[in-house]
Structure 1
């Protein structure tokens, strides 16, 4: 099974939407299809604030990763946030997510990104181990805080 990343394009909206809906169902994220598509379509059309990648064969992807971009004085320039990472259940635990989490930072670094962040459930030890294997570390003095607008 390949962890190849393919930048998603407008023609991929239906494939990506189905994968995102599956992830949201697993995570208990309540969102309408219209809201989901409104969040995805600009990424596929080239908005500069983020990108969506399909994982695996472009015509039959096995997952996706969405990256958003920001700016960090602390990190010395552009930084990125893994907003969502999902693999179909049938292909999990085969090292694919680890491959993605190792290849994605290399590609982003080559494009000038200085730091890559992600959010993980404090109680999901398996996910924490996965991210640690890929070089992510908890920032002891910091925690993510959010405000919905």
Structure 2
């Protein structure tokens, strides 16, 4: 059984509770209308990012969202994991790791050269998860942000 499915507009109703769960865990208060407005272009095929459902398409247990950029260093596309969420009741069963493995394969076939993410260095559990998924800290790198 394939456990990763590219989300489409028809998946919006299943996706919204998962995205809301991720944002609640992160302490982000967002209006559902704004989240839906931000998700729709990705579900409709925007070249700037994509969302995949994790688990059965009819009853997903999570989602992963990536945005796309460009790496001069690696000479091609890069993808940045913006969100990875698995429902709390079914965590620690390997679904997140399997989803990242399948995602990496699909992105590589699509010409993506690297998969990036921002991790909270104080969250040891998540840091161990990311390391098991073969992500490595980058020397001399600090992710910074300026909201426009």
Q: CA deviation at 1:49?
A: 0.7
1:3/1:55 contact within 8 Å kept: no
Question: Structure 1 stretches of 5 or more lacking a match?
Answer: none
Corresponding residue number in structure 2 for 1:145? 144
Partner of 2:67: 68
1:20-64 C-alpha deviation (Å, 9 max, x unpaired): 011111111111111101110101011111110000010110000
Residues 20-59 of structure 1: matches in 2 within 5 Å?
20-59=19-58
Give the strand-richer structure, 1 or 2: 2
Q: Is the 8 A contact 1:82 1:116 kept in 2?
A: yes
1:3-27 deviations in Å (ceiling 9; x for gaps): 7100101011111111101111111
Quote the Cα distance in structure 2 between the aligned partners of 1:135 and 1:40: 28
Question: 1:68–1:83: 8 Å Cα contact kept in structure 2?
Answer: yes
What's the TM-score, normalizing by structure 2? 0.96
C-alpha displacement at 1:141, in angstroms? 0.6
Following superposition of structure 1 onto structure 2, how do residues 99-114 of structure 1 map, counting pairs within 5 Å? 99-114=98-113
Cα RMSD of the aligned pairs, angstroms, is 1.1
TM-score (norm 1): 0.96
Deviations 1:65-105 (A, max 9, x none): 00111111012110000010000001101111111122211
Structure 2: 5+ residue stretches without partners:
none
Match of 1:117 in 2: 116
Shift of 1:119: 1.0
Task: Give the secondary structure class of the aligned counterpart of 1:122.
Answer: coil
Partners in 1 of 2:103 and 2:128 — Cα distance?
A: 18
